[in-house]
Amino acid sequence: MRRIGFSWGKGMLSFQGNSYPVTVEGLSVGEVGITRATANGKVYNLKNLADFDGNYAAAVAGATIAGGAEAVAMRNQNGVVIELTTTTQGASLKLAVAGLSLSVQK
């Protein structure tokens, strides 16, 4: 299991004892007035760093959890799965119709 965390368009991936900056694209805001959005998650099936890059689509429906946070599981074309928990202030964070694009900055 690996971990990922992000806040708006950037994030950090922990993999094999190292941290890698990640670019995040494909988020949309459900309401006007958002002041802050963050997400943290667990990454599964990541064997090679290169497999992390890709387009992630919801593998299962999202669910609201305690404190107004939302959880969703997503999978990319390489079989990498992310269980992501999002927390927002002022609006709800939604995946764009095309999903979420994540890539390790090189």
Domain ranges of the chain: 2-104
pLDDT of residue 100: 80
Q: Check: pTM over 0.75? Answer yes or no.
A: no
- Looking at every residue in the chain, the average pLDDT score rounds to 74
Higher pLDDT: 97 or 10? It is 10
For 83-92, the pLDDT digits (tens) are 888 776 555 5
pLDDT of residue 36: 57
* DSSP SS3 for 78: coil
Q: How confident is the model at residue 73 (pLDDT cuts 50, 70, 90)?
A: confident
- Give which of 31, 33, 45 is closest to 75, Cα–Cα: 45
